[in-house]
Amino acid sequence: SQTIHQWPATLVQPVGSPLSLECTVEGTSNPNLYWYRQAAGRGLQLLFYSVGIGQISSEVPQNLSASRPQDRQFILSSKKLLLSDSGFYLCAWRSDRGYGYTFGSGTRLTVV
């Protein structure tokens, strides 16, 4: 069965520090992978999506970047965090079985 792992679960980082959030998928190959952010009281905002290794598309301009070094690995990064980067970050992959999107457990990032 397919599973998606995301870590860390919580993170407190100072302004200006770097960020690296990792997401891995098991049980499927060549998945479409997504990074979403959920700010407090808001819906999910698509940040990046990837259809394959090295293929990244950005939906919203910001100081974040994403990389896909391996088929089942998706990484969200920043060189210098801003206060506005605080939020709940979710990795997701799209199922072809008609069940929509499957989400990781999320990372709650607080930038202080």
Question: Is residue 44 a contact point for other proteins (CB under 8 A)?
Answer: yes
> Per DSSP, what are the bridge partners of residue 93?
33, 102
Question: Is residue 33 a contact point for other proteins (CB under 8 A)?
Answer: no
Least spacing, CB of residue 55 vs other proteins, in Å: 11
Written as one string, the DSSP assignment of 6-23 is EE-SEEEE-TT--EEEEE
Q: How many helices (H) and strands (E) does the chain have?
A: 0, 11
Nearer of residues 43 and 61 to other proteins, judged by Cβ: 43
Question: Is residue 61 a contact point for other proteins (CB under 8 A)?
Answer: no
Among the candidate windows 12-20, 31-39, 62-70, 72-80, which touches other proteins by CB under 8 A? 31-39
Question: Is residue 7 a contact point for other proteins (CB under 8 A)?
Answer: no
Question: Is residue 51 a contact point for other proteins (CB under 8 A)?
Answer: yes
CA distances from residue 34 to 1, 14, 16, 68, 105 in whole angstroms, order as listed: 19, 25, 25, 11, 13
Question: Is residue 58 a contact point for other proteins (CB under 8 A)?
Answer: no
Is-contact 85 32, C-beta < 8 A? no
For tokens 């998928």, what's the residue? Answer: 25
Residue numbers at the binding site for other proteins (CB under 8 A): 32, 34, 36, 41-46, 51, 90, 94, 98-106
